[in-house]
């Protein structure tokens, strides 16, 4: 890739982190890693617990984030996905740029900076690789001369996505069940798996390289996810933090074998505000290269998301107007943390019936 092209794509091209020994001004944040000195414990929920649904409800309402154990994802698959992700990010910068994500807003897949980067004046100390389904096209760009590496990488990532989708089906049932809902109340969950309008689930590999000045850098800036929810494998290096009102930034410490679940904006809408969209961020360190893998569970692009009628009554009018994921992504891409406010109903005049 030419230097001219790289300059034109500077808003999506990460640094060559291996060649940086001092934190550049472009990546220097003010008081980026301050957090409350007391350690609060994010809920840890055993999915085999008969009370898992009620525990998930409580965690979703109070925290918007929780960790799950006994989730059914094989540990050897999780470890292999981490290994493959680390191998990808350890490629040379020139190799990674061969799979650079397209600069058009609609483009989701490929290598680049975090998509939320455009909403901040400072850049983040991280890089990512995103895929929907098979990453074969990008794998061929990353390893053009090694077909076996391409194939193995794709096989691992496709199997990981398959297992994550199964876990998400279990989680959505528990979350809806805790609100007294089932698949008949959320019609889009009943769509045939092989219909032309399938669920566009997104898998993202994240890399947070060793940082020369982590107290002034930011791995991933504060935000909420746009998804229904996100299932995160944060490996064994701390970095994820969640913001809690009255407390501040609380670290979500890695638990061996556990996965983190972040409630997203669309679940906040679907639950009519009962479930809290988790404001979270990632910090970096000067000793360890941190890897995480995020699976974003979302509805079909064209389905209007709104709270089911069972959650609506005279005392609980719909807080938000119906919105498709595709529409909401556009609103959030433009307005970022004001997106939910912009689709919020005037609750004094909100209708009690909706389509």
Dig out the tokens for 332 from the structure.
């959030």
**Three-state secondary structure call for residue 57:** helix
Q: Nearest Cα to 40, choosing from 255, 239, 241, 250?
A: 250
Please give the sequence-ordered ranges of beta strands (E in DSSP) within the chain, or none if there are none.
44-46, 65-69, 110-112, 127-131, 202-208, 220-223, 229-233, 240-244, 248-251, 259-263, 280-282, 290-297, 304-305, 323-324
Dig out the tokens for 104 from the structure.
């058009």
Q: Nearest Cα to 59, choosing from 73, 40, 78?
A: 40
- Helices (H) and strands (E) counted in the chain, each on its own, are 9, 14
290 is annotated as an active-site residue:
yes
130 CB-near residues (< 8 Å, 6+ apart): 101, 108, 109, 110, 112, 202, 203, 204, 205
74 CB-near residues (< 8 Å, 6+ apart): 163
| Whole-number Å distance between alpha carbons of 179 and 325 | 22
Dig out the tokens for 179 from the structure.
């609100």
DSSP state, 42? P
Which of 86, 93, 290, 321 is an active site residue? 290
164-197 burial: b if 16+ Cβ within 10 Å, else e: bbebbeebbebbbebbebeeeebeebeeeeeeee
Is residue 101 within 8 A of residue 142, CB to CB? The reply is: no
| Whole-number Å distance between alpha carbons of 71 and 68 | 6
Residues labelled catalytic: 290
């Amino acid at each position: 890739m030419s230097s001219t092209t790289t300059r034109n794509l500077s808003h999506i091209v990460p640094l060559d982190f291996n060649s940086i020994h001092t934190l550049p001004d472009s990546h220097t944040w003010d008081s980026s890693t301050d957090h409350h000195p007391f350690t609060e414990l994010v809920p840890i929920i055993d999915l085999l617990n008969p009370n898992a649904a009620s525990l998930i409800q409580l965690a979703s309402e109070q925290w918007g984030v929780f960790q799950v154990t006994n989730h059914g994802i094989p540990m050897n698959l999780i470890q292999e996905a981490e290994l493959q992700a680390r191998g990808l990010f350890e490629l040379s910068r020139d190799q990674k740029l061969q799979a650079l994500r397209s600069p058009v807003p609609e483009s989701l897949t490929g290598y680049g900076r975090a998509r939320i980067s455009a909403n901040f004046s400072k850049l983040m100390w991280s890089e990512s690789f995103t895929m929907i389904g098979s990453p074969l096209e990008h794998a061929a760009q990353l390893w053009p001369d090694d077909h076996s590496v391409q194939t193995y990488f794709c096989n691992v990532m496709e199997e990981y996505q398959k297992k994550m989708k199964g876990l998400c089906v279990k989680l959505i049932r528990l979350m809806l069940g805790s609100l007294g809902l089932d698949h008949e109340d959320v019609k889009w969950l009943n769509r045939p798996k092989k219909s032309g309008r399938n669920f566009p689930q997104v898998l993202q590999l994240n890399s947070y390289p060793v940082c020369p000045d982590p107290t002034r850098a930011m791995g991933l800036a504060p935000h909420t996810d746009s998804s229904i929810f996100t299932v995160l494998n944060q490996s064994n290096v701390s970095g994820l933090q969640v913001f809690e009102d009255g407390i501040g930034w609380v670290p979500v410490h890695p638990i061996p074998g556990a996965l983190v679940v972040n409630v997203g904006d669309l679940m906040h809408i679907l639950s009519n505000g009962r479930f809290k969209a988790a404001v979270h961020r990632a910090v970096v360190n000067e000793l360890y290269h941190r890897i995480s893998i995020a699976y974003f569970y979302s509805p079909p692009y064209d389905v209007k998301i709104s709270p089911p009628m069972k959650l609506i009554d005279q005392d609980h009018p719909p807080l938000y107007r119906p919105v498709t994921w595709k529409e909401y992504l556009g609103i959030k891409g433009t307005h970022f943390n004001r997106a939910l406010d912009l689709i919020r109903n005037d609750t004094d005049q909100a209708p009690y019936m909706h389509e």
